[in-house]
Homo-oligomer: A and B are copies of this chain.
Amino acid sequence: MEDNHDMTAAESTSYPEAAPSFSPLYQQIKLLLVKRLQAGEWQPGGAIPSEMELAARFKVSQGTVRKAIDEMAADNLVVRRQGKGTFVATHAEQATQYRFLRLTPDDGTPPALQRRLLECRSMRPPPDVRQLLGLPAGETAVQVRRLLLADDLPVVLDDLWLPGTPFRGLTAERLQAWRGPLYRMFEAEFSVRMIRATEKIRAVAAPAEEATLLGVVAGAPLLSVERLSFTYGDRPMELRRGLYHTATHHYRNELG
């Protein structure tokens, strides 16, 4: 490689804002690879080209490609498997069932939850939902309401809001028929991959209707979890409002 570390000559003409014009080679390569991921060039669960091949293609050393992929692996965009290759991350693995659900039974047993679909309809979202999802005015959304149960006792009441355009065709029937993680369905059937999420958590008093569904008395304390999930490019793709009954379960978190 020559001295010039700029792989984006076409873009390096003018920077009106104070943007870092140059970045390390491996960062540029990471960006290129993420863009191809985003474009769907490789299937979820499928292999991306080997480090040697990418190094040849980009005309850099293997170590540089390695560092780019290392970061993508740290971002959970990709999974490395020694001897086999590097694969596009997916929500399919059973290790990642409920990848974003932090609710755990108080005894150490692994969470085992059943689902019960309550509702699924397409409608105009309320303004706060519209704003959080960044939807244009007039755009519709799909609302899903469901219950998660442990040992036939309700534990979670989830309200999902999904943008209508990418999720056109999502019906109660298809939801009922689907086995496996929801996020796996989203990526397999609607080409929407959730990459990361943020949650806002509060304690609330159970409203009457929700209390009934969860089998608690009205006014009982519940955990309110508002999750906003993002796909590539930090575009919000799901708003999920959950009410957790934390008598036999708790929300666990690790602080590093």
Task: Give A residues with C-beta under 8 Å from B.
Answer: 75-76, 99-100, 102, 196-205, 219-224, 227, 244, 246, 250-256
Please tell me if the beta carbons of A251 and B201 are within 8 angstroms of each other in the complex.
yes
Q: How many copies does the complex hold?
A: 2
CB distance from A111 to the nearest CB of B (A): 14
CA distance A219 to B203 in the complex (A): 12
A200-B252, A205-B221 known; 9 new pairs, CB 8 Å cut-off, are A100-B255, A102-B255, A201-B252, A202-B250, A203-B204, A203-B224, A204-B246, A221-B221, A221-B222
| Complex Cα gap A197–B246 (Å) | 21
Contact of A197 among B201, B250, B255 (CB under 8 A): B255
- Do A75 and B203 touch across chains, with their CB atoms under 8 A apart? no
Shortest CB distance A107–B (Å): 13
Q: CA separation between A246 and B252, bound complex, in Å?
A: 18
Distance A235 CA – B254 CA, assembled complex (angstroms): 15
Q: How far is the CB of A185 from chain B (nearest CB, A)?
A: 19
Report yes or no: B255 in contact with A203, Cβ–Cβ below 8 A.
no
Q: What's the minimum C-beta distance from A44 to chain B, rounded to whole angstroms?
A: 17
Complex CA gap A224/B247 in Å reads: 12
Residues of B close to A221: CB separation below 8 A:
203-205, 221-222
Chain A interface mostly helix, strand, loop or mixed?
strand
Given A204-B203, A222-B221, the answer on whether A198 and B253 have CB atoms closer than 8 Å is yes
The 10 closest A-B pairs by CB, nearest first: A202-B246, A221-B221, A203-B221, A203-B203, A201-B251, A197-B255, A199-B253, A203-B223, A200-B250, A100-B255
Q: Which residues of B contact A224 (CB under 8 A)?
A: 203
Q: A204-B221, A221-B204, A221-B221 are in contact. Are A199 and B255 (CB under 8 A)?
A: yes
Residues of B within 8 A of A219 (CB): 219
The distance in angstroms between the C-alpha atoms of A203 and B203, with both chains bound, is 5
Instruction: Point out the residues of chain B lying under 8 angstroms from A227, CB to CB.
Output: 255
